[in-house]
Structure 1
Amino acid sequence: LNAIKPDTIYTRIGSSWIGIATSYAKTHKVKHAHALASDSSVTRKLLGKPLYPLFSQIETYYINKGLVGADVIIAQNVFQQQMLSKRYGKESILVNQMTPSVDESCLQKKYNKIKIIWVANFKELKHPELFVQLAKDLKAHSDRIEMYMCGRSTSKYNNLLQDINYIDYLNYLGSLDQEQVFDLMNEAHILVNTSEYEGFSNTFVQAWMRKVVVVSMNSNPSDILTSQGIGFLTPNMTDLVATIHKLIEHPEIISELGKKSYQYALENHDLNKNMKKIIEVL
């Protein structure tokens, strides 16, 4: 930072760097804007017991210092705004997740088989095993569906990957780059999210921009899925299976919601529109 001598510091990482950036900004009288990247940033929700408790305490101290001291905080959803106000007494600016717009002519969906995708790295909080269970529960539709998972895996999930190999209509594509994910979404019909929590998942916005219906078990940022009628919140496996079953049986619903999702994304999550908001606060 001393070498760069910034006029403004923009951070978007839930770590002690937030506090360090705030300290530098105060000392050098420059602006610090912090963009939240997850709901966990304002709840400090941790999975499991910290490996190094003292380090975790230091990390939390600097994160809190950064959240309190930042000149501007950019929130992803209403929940984050509410928690910031409640826990830190901080107001924030809501800026929608953004993605480049996609020409509708590129989105010619075929419905001979319904393509259902899961996009995330294999982690405990992402629960990839639930998507595999969904695949098993959809066996009766095996001739009408194709299911795909993509994202980095680890040796911890070797048994799960073996399970995937035994399901003919479920394919694990490994880690894909952004363009490969977009190509997958361009042909997909349904995105399933099994995460415990998100901030505002980029994959939601990217899916909406490609006429993909989002079905989520827990994450419903600012209640958009339900309030805008562009997706489904299914808090348990029974509801998830029933919802996917209905969509497979009624592709016209997928088509209708896909078009609605696309229009919503164009109006609210276009990259150029939302970048202007960020530039204004910087």
Structure 2
Amino acid sequence: MDRTIYFISPKIREFLSEDPGSAGGAERQQYLLANELRKFGFNIGFITASGNDQLRSDGKFEVWESCPVKAGFSISFVVEFLKFLHSLYVTDADYYYVRGLPRIAVVTNLVLSLLNRSLVYCIANESNINQKYLYSHYSKPFLWAYFWMLSSATIVSQTESQAKSLREDYGVDSVTIPNGCEITPEVEFESSSKSLHVLWVGRIQREQKRPDRLLDIAEELPDVSFELIGPLDGEDAYCDRIVSRANSLENVVYSGFVDPDDIYSKYVEADLLLNTSDYEGFPNTFLEAWQSKALVVSMYYSFDNKLKKFKFGHQAPGIKKTKEEIAKLANKNLSESKGRAREYVINNYSISNIANEYAELFTQSSDKWT
């Protein structure tokens, strides 16, 4: 009997639309995973936000435009929320998958428990399980429901550190499945420039991604070229300052949003990917950079402390140390390390292998729920 999986994500409609707009790594990861899981015989659907743009009509997925974006007390939100509950009832899928999005996950879990169905919840990043963050952003009644969801749903962690935190802080066992990467054909690129080229990819926002740190470094390394890629996704004033500063620096280019299908050419042209985030889950950008033979310098995210072990990954906490690390790499021959980076991703993180792990999880979960 065919099994059906529904991915619940308000922003994935941007990736399903004819014009992807500001679709991010989380949406791309779910879209890639959905396509791979179809090869295992699963029927795939999406519950996403409503919108005016045209969705892709390739017939591969069933799409319900009923996922709330922001909570509120307006009539439009109430109507949208009721449509969301209706879609959960009518779709009658075998599995529902939510990545991050604590509020949507809690509501989904409550409804599915009444319908005698179960949720697969994937930890998106450390903020989903960091107790200090949770207690500062959510009410206690909500957190009671959230903690109950963690204990009743099937939980997927992306890293061993997330699995450890779930186990020690919440008494919750999880299945660790990392992100996967679409392996593209190898492309050789010979730059005409002798300067190091550093790429930054992510949403332009202050709370997590902190692109302002890249600009601080760029100001002190005028001989290194930097490219900033990503949609504006934060406070207007902050985004305006980032774009203005980037345009004022001769060694920085702000390229805005780049279609996910075109992003690999940017990685191929880069020597380094710089990550300036306060926290991450499991960055797609690391895998995309490595498979394109770009090295990674991360300011704070440690990749389960693996960056210290790999010569194609470097961790340098703080602006000063990051600047020094980039300056040091600018004077090195990086070709050998770049080759090892691509080989590592192919052997460990191809999306086909990751989808196989999810297929096993959904099959085992089906046995448990029936």
TM-score (norm 1): 0.88
Q: Closer, same or farther in 2 for the Cα pair 1:47/1:190, shift >3 Å? A: farther
Q: How does 1:184-263 map to 2 (within 5 A)?
A: 184-250=266-332, 252=333, 254-263=334-343
1:100–1:271 Cα contact (<8 Å) kept: yes
Out of 240, 244, 262, the position equivalent to 1:158 is 240
Aligned to 2:346: 266
Matches of 1:270 and 1:41 in 2, distance apart? 25
How big is the shift at 1:109?
4.4
1:13–1:37 Cα contact (<8 Å) kept: yes
How big is the shift at 1:47?
9.5
Aligned to 2:69: none
2:205–2:238 Cα contact (<8 Å) kept: no
Aligned to 1:138: 221
Matches of 2:217 and 2:291 in 1, distance apart? 25
Report whether the alignment pairs 1:102 with 2:184: yes
Matches of 2:156 and 2:169 in 1, distance apart? 16
How big is the shift at 1:130?
0.8
Q: Secondary structure at the match of 2:256?
A: coil
Aligned to 2:355: 275
**Amino acid aligned to 1:149:** L
Matches of 2:100 and 2:274 in 1, distance apart? 25
How big is the shift at 1:93?
1.1
Specify which structure has the higher proportion of helix.
1
Matches of 1:89 and 1:156 in 2, distance apart? 39
Q: Secondary structure at the match of 1:3?
A: helix
2:127–2:134 Cα contact (<8 Å) kept: no
More contact order relative to length (CA 8 Å, sep ≥ 6): 1
Q: Secondary structure at the match of 2:189?
A: coil
Q: Secondary structure at the match of 1:259?
A: helix
Q: Secondary structure at the match of 2:129?
A: helix
Aligned to 2:3: none
How big is the shift at 1:209?
1.2
Q: How does 1:69-80 map to 2 (within 5 A)?
A: 69-70=152-153, 72-80=154-162
Matches of 1:62 and 1:203 in 2, distance apart? 32
Q: How does 1:46-195 map to 2 (within 5 A)?
A: 46=133, 50=137, 56-70=139-153, 72-104=154-186, 106-110=187-191, 112-124=194-206, 125-139=208-222, 141=223, 145-153=224-232, 154-195=236-277
How big is the shift at 1:86?
1.2
1:218–1:235 Cα contact (<8 Å) kept: yes
Q: Closer, same or farther in 2 for the Cα pair 1:62/1:183, shift >3 Å? A: farther
Indicate the RMSD between aligned Cα atoms, in angstroms: 2.1
Out of 91, 96, 120, the position equivalent to 1:4 is 91
**Amino acid aligned to 1:22:** N
Matches of 1:216 and 1:167 in 2, distance apart? 22
1:14–1:36 Cα contact (<8 Å) kept: no
Which range moved further: 234-243 or 20-29? Answer: 20-29
Which range moved further: 57-66 or 28-37? Answer: 57-66
**Amino acid aligned to 1:209:** Q
Which range moved further: 202-211 or 109-118? Answer: 109-118
Matches of 2:209 and 2:142 in 1, distance apart? 23
Q: Closer, same or farther in 2 for the Cα pair 1:241/1:87, shift >3 Å? A: same
How big is the shift at 1:20?
2.6
1:119–1:149 Cα contact (<8 Å) kept: yes
Q: Secondary structure at the match of 1:112?
A: coil
Matched positions, count: 270
